[in-house]
Structure 1
Amino acid sequence: MDEGLAPPAIEAGASGNQYPALKIENTLYINVKSGVIKIQLLPDVAPQHVKRIKTFATQGFYDGVVFHRVIDGFMAQTGDPDGTGRGGSDLPDLKAEFTQKYGFERGVIGMARARSDDSANSQFFIMLNEAPHLNGGYTIFGRVVDGMNAVDNIAKGEPPAKPDKMIKMYLEP
C-alpha cells in the first residue's frame, strides 16, 4: 500500500470533519488496476448502509464491477453489476441515513440513489473533490484513508471508453 501518500485533505478532513479512530472491523479494501483503496466505514452515521456494504464485500458482489460514471473533479461511481448505472442488487432498497456530522469532501464515499431518498441499493460514489451541495441529500457511509491516488487514476467518462473495475473488494483480513 502507499502509506503516507494520501493527500492531507483526507487525513485531516478538509471540511473540518472529525472522524472516529480507524477500527479493523470497519476497514474495507478495494483493489483496482492502479492500486489499493483503503476505506474507513462509518457505522456511527450509516449502520444499515455499512452492514449492506460489508455483506456485499463478503459475498464478492462487487468483484469485477466497473466504474460506470467518473466525472473528472467530481466523483467516481460504481456498484451496478450490469455496468449501466441503472442496476442494483436483489435486496430491498435502503432507507436514507443522512447526516450533518460529515460533509462531502474529497475521499468521502456516499450511496447513489434514484429520485427517492430511500432508494439506495448497491451503487456508491467516491468524491474526487468537495461537493457541499450533496450534504444532507445522500448517505455518507465511509471515506478513503489511503489510496486516493488510485481513485484519481480511474478512467474518466460517462461511461468511460474503457472503464476500470473493482478487481476485488474485501474486509480487513
Structure 2
Amino acid sequence: MRLFLGLIATICLAVTGGPAMAAKKKPVVVNPVEQRLPPPPLSDTQNLLYLDLSTGGRVVVRLYPNVAPKMVERIKILTRQRFYDGLTFHRVIDGFMAQTGDPKGDGTGGSSLPDVPAEFNWMPHVRGAVAAAREGAAPDASAEEKAKAENSANSQFFIVFQPKLSLDKKYTVFGRVISGMEFVDSVERGEPPANPSRILHAYIAADNPPPYTPAPPPPPVTLAPAPSLAPAVTPKPAVTKPAAPKPAARK
C-alpha cells in the first residue's frame, strides 16, 4: 500500500514539475514610466526667451522643447517676427496668472499661423510656469468639441503667479520664468486692466538682443487754463457828444 501511494506521489510531482513550478505566478505587467527627455542646458541661448516688460525690467523664460517642441517652435517664430512687441497683458487675475499674446487685446485673437496641437505633459503649473492659452469647452461638450478646444493653442500664453495644479495635463506648459518674476508680479490686474501692462519687446537670447530699454515716459499733459473767477465786466456804451452848432453867417 505504501509503495502504491509513493508511486502516485511521484507521478503527480512529475506532472506538475515540482513545488516551484506549482507555486509559480503569472508575471505582473507594469505600465511603462513616461519617458522624460532631458531639458536643454541653461547655456543654450536658442531656448531662452526674453520679455522686456513695461513694468520695469526683463523676464527670462527657459523654454522646454523636450516636452512641447511644437509650441516652443511657434513662440520662437512669432518672437522673431516681432509679433509680441507692444502686446498687452489683457487678462490678469491676482493669485492666478497673467495672460498675453493677443493682438486684439480681448482674448479672441491670434496669429495668422495654424493652431498648435495639444502637447499636455508632466510639467506642473507652479509659480513661474508658462503655458499656452487655448479655448475652453463646456463640461457637457462632446468629445469632438473638447478635442477642438484642446488643440486650439496659437499665440497666447499665460504666466502663473501661484501654483494651480488643477490645470496639469490640461494645458501645454512650455517654459518657466528663471529670472525677473518680480516684473510679472507688477503687471496691472484686471479683465481687462484699466491701464494694461505691455511687452515692450520679445527676443530669443541667441539673436543677441540689446540691453533692456525702459519705455519712454508718457508725454506731458497740457492742461487748459482755468476759467477766471472774477465777475465779467460789461463795457459801457460809448457816449457820442452832439456836434456844436455852426455860428450863423453874418450878413
How many residue pairs align between the two structures? 155
Residue by residue, what CA displacement relative to the aligned partner does 1:72-121 show, whole Å, maximum 9, x if unpaired? 11000000011011111111111000001x10000000000003100001
CA RMSD of superposed structures (Å): 1.1
Structure 1, unaligned runs of 5 or more: 1-17
Question: Aligned residue for 1:104?
Answer: 125
Residue type of the partner of 1:24? T
2:62/2:176 contact within 8 Å kept: yes
Question: Aligned residue for 2:53?
Answer: 32
Shift of 1:20: 5.2
Shift of 1:21: 2.9
Residue by residue, what CA displacement relative to the aligned partner does 1:12-36 show, whole Å, maximum 9, x if unpaired? xxxxxx9653121101100012210
Question: Aligned residue for 2:232?
Answer: none
**2:80 aligns to what SS in structure 1?**
helix
Matched, 1:170 2:203: yes
**Which of the pair is proportionally richer in strand?**
1
Question: Aligned residue for 1:21?
Answer: 41
- State TM-score, norm by structure 1: 0.87
Moved over 4 A (4+): none
CA distance in 2, matches of 1:58, 1:154: 24
**1:154 aligns to what SS in structure 2?**
coil
CA distance in 2, matches of 1:47, 1:118: 14
Residue by residue, what CA displacement relative to the aligned partner does 1:132-163 show, whole Å, maximum 9, x if unpaired? 00000000110000000000000000000000
Q: Computing the radius of gyration over CA atoms, which structure comes out larger, 1 or 2?
A: 2
Question: Aligned residue for 1:76?
Answer: 98
**Which of the pair is proportionally richer in helix?**
2
Structure 2, unaligned runs of 5 or more: 1-37, 137-148, 209-251
Q: Percent identity?
A: 49
- Among residues 145, 153, 168, which one is paired with 2:178 in the alignment? 145
CA distance in 2, matches of 1:159, 1:30: 20
